[in-house]
Structure 1
């Protein structure tokens, strides 16, 4: 039985389809374009394009499962809620814990990306902390403000990326021989799958739409459209940027770069493109961070309602209608991570948590009754298998830390239930 209460404990339905798509695009574009291509190139070389296709296919399967579940269960919490409703409380906890820990790491990655592109040497982490504080404040003021600011950020990002690609392909000297997947591939099949797992980090933003299920109007219609629409936009953007990077830097240059787009435009004749990339990277990371804070806050709210997180986190602000305590705690934790973690470690760890989350989502969608089914069961089976394959091919360090944190969460819940039973 859900602990959700009617009335003042509920969030307000203020988002339409356009708002939901923009939040999804803002969540995804910031993650992939400026963070994930370098480690993916290290794993697979030019075959990262195959990894990108695999990641997109798994993401589509997961997106349809998420959308199908969200249409039936239009409340805050995403796969945490779906796992509880379709599979049982333990499955819901695994999904929710995976999402919260994975996406908290993503918040740190996005904040650090912002600091790396805008701050002078030595001030990167301070700038990242400032970004977390400011955006947490925006989220605190209500979901409508979050959606409006995300629209502005997404417009800036897409314009900056368009100008960057033109600088690379028109103002630069692209070598198309380095683009085909077989031109400079490394790592074999394992490398391709590892690249796919790392690039999956870039596609996971559509979950933000589902976690906002309690705040969209007409969720049965809005959420499926928004999830698929946002994913389609992100796939197109990633594919264009990946091809441009391989044509200008090659697989080796992309793998060796901490900021591939910046290094690539430095080789072009368009000197103004460098500042444009920095503006785009800063805006993209802020857009992703803004949506991540919103999504984690809603999942934490759902978990607190069921006492899988401390119950006082379930509070909803009486005026702004947001889970304000959950968002404040999240901001504090992310600031601590920003001051201590490495960016590339955060990417792999985030992928582990999110793939765990979507494994449960696919399993839950398989269990849905026929009246609620919108896509074939084969898509959910493919999504399940894809999540398993991608998670086991992640870098060993990310896999080890992810398993350890998951075990800690499961052990903590088991202890709490044992104490409550006594």
Structure 2
């Protein structure tokens, strides 16, 4: 089996586009309605707060990736800072979290396309077809994949700009009130915006930002990692805060938070909003094209990043050695890519966007809690930012995870237990990797 390193062929611009391609997808086209259903217009504050937490986590990821520029993300960092058991847990959490996000994106993509053809019953087969197609593309290698990603991101941002600019003139300020008048002049809070709901909504919104992890997990392929990785992560998160907030504000302003939530049940909320308020047909098509390209980009980049974590886990013996194999060109860990595609396809077969996104929320929060804890163990010379940001990220992730529904925590707990047991078994059978 090959144990060679991947080539460094991504510059700063490519790294930023990689992050955007992983982030601007299901979060903006699918999950905003989930958050609006929990807290109404307060989802705008949840988006900003989640972005702030993502920035803290991004700073921790940037420092770790710059100091340890290898494939594997927090799975690898945990081992390198002296916490191998937590590193193994992080690896399993990442595979589950981002496979669930990838499945959500595949279902969302199918939802937007099938909404046009009034064929929602084909959502699962459509999602599986997309996964197969993009897996083949990833197997073609990083150069071709990165070029496609840049095109996808550009089209997506243009489509979202069309939605925002086309709808802003019809925004109704009254839709931002969480209260309605009923007979007798009484005010009723229709969104039940309690603190637990707000924390849960923030956790769901946080998932939409975590694509910057692709930049870190692909640190082995980025040129000048100590400079490029931190700059790319910060730039990506800042752009996404602006994009998510703008789209959510216009969507709520057009149909209210309650309407946004109801239209999300179609699987294509932005498309449904355009139709509901009577915006020009061409805007609806622009949204459809943007949604398709966005979620194509997310799936592509998630398969790419997940395969690098599987590669790292294979190198340390936490997955079979088969997954260590890299092609002769040194660009693609083929068996790891296929493993990831099979996991994502299995989750997509569940057919529930809400379940997949919620599962991703709790597992990714655990993953980034470990990321921040690992960053706190970096030596002084490796620090690019004050320790305060890592502490804020750690406490924020742990705090928000408590508010995710218990059923998803039960599943995450099972994965954590399985990871720890597997770590003990694999450590006995394999000497530690240096």
The Cα offsets for residues 12-49 of structure 1, whole Å up to 9 and x where unpaired, read as: 11100000100100111103111211111121111111
C-alpha distance in 2 between matches for 1:60 and 1:343: 26
The Cα offsets for residues 166-221 of structure 1, whole Å up to 9 and x where unpaired, read as: 22213xx3211223678865231111111000001100000000000000111111
Contact 1:44-1:185 at 8 Å conserved across structures: yes
Pairs within 5 Å for 1:105-254: 105-119=100-114, 120=117, 121=119, 122-170=121-169, 173-179=170-176, 185-254=191-260
Question: What residue number does 1:43 align with?
Answer: 38
Q: Which moved more, 1:272-281 or 1:356-365?
A: 272-281
C-alpha distance in 2 between matches for 1:150 and 1:246: 29
Instruction: Tell me: CA distance 1:117–1:221, structure 2 relative to 1, closer, same or farther (3 Å).
Output: same
Aligned-pair CA distance for 1:101: 1.0
The Cα offsets for residues 61-112 of structure 1, whole Å up to 9 and x where unpaired, read as: 0000000111100000111111111132111111111111111111111111
Question: What residue number does 1:337 align with?
Answer: 347
C-alpha distance in 2 between matches for 1:257 and 1:277: 15
Question: What residue number does 1:287 align with?
Answer: 297
C-alpha distance in 2 between matches for 1:317 and 1:269: 49
C-alpha distance in 1 between matches for 2:100 and 2:297: 16
Contact 2:92-2:415 at 8 Å conserved across structures: no
| TM-score between both structures, scaled by the size of structure 2 | 0.91
Instruction: Tell me: CA distance 1:12–1:420, structure 2 relative to 1, closer, same or farther (3 Å).
Output: closer
Question: What residue number does 1:58 align with?
Answer: 53
Contact 1:31-1:201 at 8 Å conserved across structures: no
Contact 2:72-2:311 at 8 Å conserved across structures: yes
Matched, 1:361 2:360: no
Q: Please list every run of 5 or more consecutive structure 1 residues that lacks an aligned counterpart in the other structure.
A: none
Instruction: Tell me: CA distance 1:97–1:234, structure 2 relative to 1, closer, same or farther (3 Å).
Output: same
Question: What residue number does 1:24 align with?
Answer: 19
Question: What residue number does 2:184 align with?
Answer: none
Contact 1:140-1:320 at 8 Å conserved across structures: no
SS at match of 1:161: helix
Q: Which moved more, 1:215-224 or 1:41-50?
A: 41-50
Contact 2:26-2:108 at 8 Å conserved across structures: no
Matched, 1:12 2:7: yes
Question: What residue number does 2:270 align with?
Answer: 261
Contact 2:47-2:202 at 8 Å conserved across structures: yes
The Cα offsets for residues 303-340 of structure 1, whole Å up to 9 and x where unpaired, read as: 11001111211111112521110001111222222223
| TM-score between both structures, scaled by the size of structure 1 | 0.94
C-alpha distance in 2 between matches for 1:196 and 1:157: 24
C-alpha distance in 2 between matches for 1:181 and 1:226: 37
Q: Please list every run of 5 or more consecutive structure 2 residues that lacks an aligned counterpart in the other structure.
A: 180-188
Contact 1:36-1:201 at 8 Å conserved across structures: no
RMSD: 1.8
The Cα offsets for residues 374-407 of structure 1, whole Å up to 9 and x where unpaired, read as: 1111111100010001111112222222222222
Matched, 1:350 2:325: no
Aligned-pair CA distance for 1:151: 0.4
SS at match of 1:214: helix
SS at match of 1:272: helix
Pairs within 5 Å for 1:264-413: 264-266=273-275, 267-319=277-329, 321-413=331-423
C-alpha distance in 2 between matches for 1:55 and 1:299: 24
Contact 1:51-1:195 at 8 Å conserved across structures: yes
SS at match of 2:70: coil
C-alpha distance in 1 between matches for 2:344 and 2:10: 26
Contact 2:263-2:273 at 8 Å conserved across structures: no
C-alpha distance in 2 between matches for 1:187 and 1:206: 29
SS at match of 2:25: helix
C-alpha distance in 1 between matches for 2:58 and 2:190: 31
